[in-house]
Structure 1
């Protein structure tokens, strides 16, 4: 058996696959596949990280939450807090106060949503961080005054100072979010220090898929409701996938497109290899006949030619992977390929080198191509050694 394997290895090294077209096809197919996986992973990471940063992955709020009024606070220390912290996948829980308002500069006005966050998040008393879109709309810059009006039982006015201007990657979001100090908005609403609009829960990265966020929302919502005090309002847990359903729907569509690309590229590469292997078989009919006459089985000869084909596939895979990783490194550092955020939510093509996904794509594509190559090896069983040797 060992001698037979050594002979097969020796003969396979002597055979040469002369089809450069097949090699180029394999390399291009793997290049496209790895880019598709990396870009899909990049979109998923960038968009999920950014929507999570806006309001957490899960929000716990009063069932009667109203951004306009002041009558729907919840406790920042509910009885279920420790139990929620202990839930697998929960990374952090942060309080937030929301209040809808109208901002004005000169004759320009615009509706916004104020979000009060902890002072450690870069906002101090009566200072705000505004989105670049609002800065462009109202002509605001750092250091400018921002007049805001809040409608409730009575109209309240506050004058804030623009401390910073931030650019959200989720630029297609129509909801202009102005970050202020948590204590400023608590005073605006006449709330106590332990009263907030929401508790925002951030999950670990591997829990940020749509299905897992939904599962954790149900688990956390049940804890919050069952452990709430009798005098408290009903608490509800809302997943970020509801608020940004359009983004998550789009990510699901990207995942489907990537799957289609992987299948198509595997089929294209496979059929190119089939044509190349058939050419190799036709060129070596006499060799096949001689090997059969020497006692080699059809299976052993098939393995010999599959070994040659496998070497070519692996070379093409390596070339495609290297080119794809070089592109990813260049795009990650320069963002030279830009996008329209109105259509793609972010302004550049994101890439993320997800090694397990890339290895899985390589493995599945390689296995698929090699399975397709079993078809032309059936030709070997049709070769008559007597006729081929006589033809020689």
Structure 2
């Protein structure tokens, strides 16, 4: 067995406060990374639900206009679907409308979809059945099973009586200007007088690895180029718009969160490192005679420093383990219960989202551990100042 390791196992690290600080620091770091990752996943998935990651729309798209549909099966569709990074291409119909109940009225955007399960929780919406955001349900005092009138303004006013099939938690619930009511694709096609091959837009859903700003921008350019290169004669001209260009303020906000998390990681690592420095210095002062004795029997400064660094490393790893386990338990409870709530008007979500991103989790642990151990090299230099003749004589 290595002599340094043998001695380190018999030295007790007495800096309990430093170990607690390590645990708290790693807890804060893992929670910060998990919440940041949770916001990214929830908000990006919510945006995909509202308008897709990349949207192919007519150049002159107007939610009130019934005369500018695009073909549901354009000549470039197969090329886009086979593109690496594209998960699905879904046809949708948009229609601006006004929802009215007994004493309340509100403007909304109706969105006709083929597969409502991801938002409504049911396989299909019944004829004239809708999934409404929870904020609209609260505002208009609507519950599942209630009926309400909707008015659609165009060349003439049309009225439809819809029934609430489900209520969903809208990603932009806090913004009254972004309330989307989901209904069956065929309902809005009939309302516009379109056939089943005419839609307002095609929404491209991307793989998760392309849902960041650079990925969406890259895919928008590639998809836009494909539509130009493979467009058939007489097909409606379309333009590719990414979610980044439609919701720039949201993605800027996500970038700000990432910056704040990076600052928190640096701060917590520094706090943990300096607390461990104080703990190691105390340990060195308490073992001056031991250091002198080891020097007197021929052990060099480097191997003696290794003894104390191994002991400190064990304390760091124990604190890291305690912090990680506590953070994972917090993430599990919050993920299952959504106990900590948020104001969606300020945070876009009604709860604190958590997502354990394993690569980021491990990277934060390894990077913080490495920085702390590098900081501990500074107090270990104290060993070189100890004179074995004086310390052994004093002891």
Q: How high is the TM-score relative to the length of structure 2?
A: 0.93
Which residue does the alignment assign to 1:137? 139
Q: Secondary structure at the match of 1:375?
A: helix
Which of 203, 206, 216 is the equivalent residue of 1:203?
206
Contact 1:225 1:236 in 2 (8 A): no
Give ranges in structure 1 of 5+ residues lacking alignment.
none
Say whether residues 1:61 and 2:63 are aligned partners: no
Aligned-pair RMSD on alpha carbons? 1.8
CA displacement at 1:310 relative to structure 2: 0.3
Change (3 A) 1:339 1:137: closer
Change (3 A) 1:263 1:178: same
Which of 354, 359, 362 is the equivalent residue of 2:362?
359
1:326-371 per-position Cα deviation (integer Å, ceiling 9, x unaligned):
1111112222211122121111111112222111111000000000
Change (3 A) 1:55 1:380: same
Which of 17, 20, 30 is the equivalent residue of 1:21?
17
Contact 1:228 1:235 in 2 (8 A): no
CA displacement at 1:233 relative to structure 2: 3.0
Aligned ranges 1:1-392 → 2 under 5 Å: 6-118=2-114, 122-174=124-176, 175-392=178-395
Contact 2:47 2:171 in 1 (8 A): no
Alpha-carbon separation, structure 1, partners of 2:185 and 2:196: 9
Q: Secondary structure at the match of 2:100?
A: strand
Alpha-carbon separation, structure 2, partners of 1:140 and 1:262: 44
Change (3 A) 1:288 1:151: same
1:187-237 per-position Cα deviation (integer Å, ceiling 9, x unaligned):
222222211111111112222112211111111111112211232232111
Contact 1:95 1:117 in 2 (8 A): yes
CA displacement at 1:162 relative to structure 2: 3.1
Q: Secondary structure at the match of 1:103?
A: strand
Change (3 A) 1:302 1:73: same
Deviates more, 1:366-375 or 1:279-288: 279-288
Alpha-carbon separation, structure 1, partners of 2:167 and 2:35: 28
Change (3 A) 1:284 1:206: same
CA displacement at 1:139 relative to structure 2: 3.2
Q: Secondary structure at the match of 2:162?
A: strand
Alpha-carbon separation, structure 1, partners of 2:292 and 2:141: 82
Change (3 A) 1:135 1:326: closer
Alpha-carbon separation, structure 1, partners of 2:271 and 2:359: 23
Give ranges in structure 2 of 5+ residues lacking alignment.
118-123
Alpha-carbon separation, structure 1, partners of 2:48 and 2:72: 19
Change (3 A) 1:331 1:161: closer
